[in-house]
Amino acid sequence: MSRQVRALERVAIAEQPAARPSRMEVAEAVRTMIRWAGDDPARDGLRETPDRVARAFQEYFAGYAQDPAEILQKTFEEIEGYDEMIVLRGVRFESHCEHHMAPIVGRAWVAYIPQGRVVGISKLARVVDIYAKRLQIQEKMTAQIANTINEVLKPEGVGVIIKATHHCMTTRGAHKPGTDLVTSRMLGVFRDNALTRQELLGLANSDD
């Protein structure tokens, strides 16, 4: 076997996704972190903590196992020509920052103007949750929600606004409690029409 072929095989192996760790491996990693923090994972108060953390992480990051586009597949076309803005306001979510794995807690405003069909409003909330239950930065999450709704429903436009508090800034680092981050993604008529965009911004700000 030539040196070049062996090199290509090593690259191919390196590019393969690593097998997902078992819950037992995750629990052992948590025990290591507890020891690193300076405590004893074998003491009574911490003995079950590694398993609890593993279960919690399974819940925190359940979004990786779900397809947001699939959630939006069932739509309704008997809407009597309705073509005005639809807004789901203040959808609460909990996520985790991909830089520090610290909580991100906030609310999302999701709007679209239908083009012949609508989707159940609970599905919009579920799309928010699916993307929230992944390691995230708020800017990316905002774009993912808007882009998915736009690609699947193909409406006249989509607008997403997110306001959230980042614990990586409020409880560590800069230590600036009381601050939040606001991001938005405007597509279609929400981007092109200033009045439509302002209407959505007004609805979002009225909830403060």
Active-site annotation, residues? 97-100, 138, 166, 168
Q: Distances in Å between the alpha carbon of 53 and those of 22, 102, 162?
A: 13, 14, 28
Residue 161 burial by CB count (10 A; 0-12/13-18/19+): exposed, middle or buried? buried
Q: Distances in Å between the alpha carbon of 98 and those of 21, 109, 116, 206?
A: 19, 22, 38, 30
At which residue do the structure tokens 């009045």 appear? 195
At which residue do the structure tokens 């409880």 appear? 171
Residue 78 burial by CB count (10 A; 0-12/13-18/19+): exposed, middle or buried? exposed
Distance, in Å, from the CA atom of 44 to the CA atom of 64, rounded to the nearest integer, reads 33
Q: Are strands 86-97 and 181-188 parallel, antiparallel or unpaired?
A: unpaired
Quickly list DSSP for 143-172. Answer: HHHHHHHHHHH--SEEEEEEEEEEHHHHSS
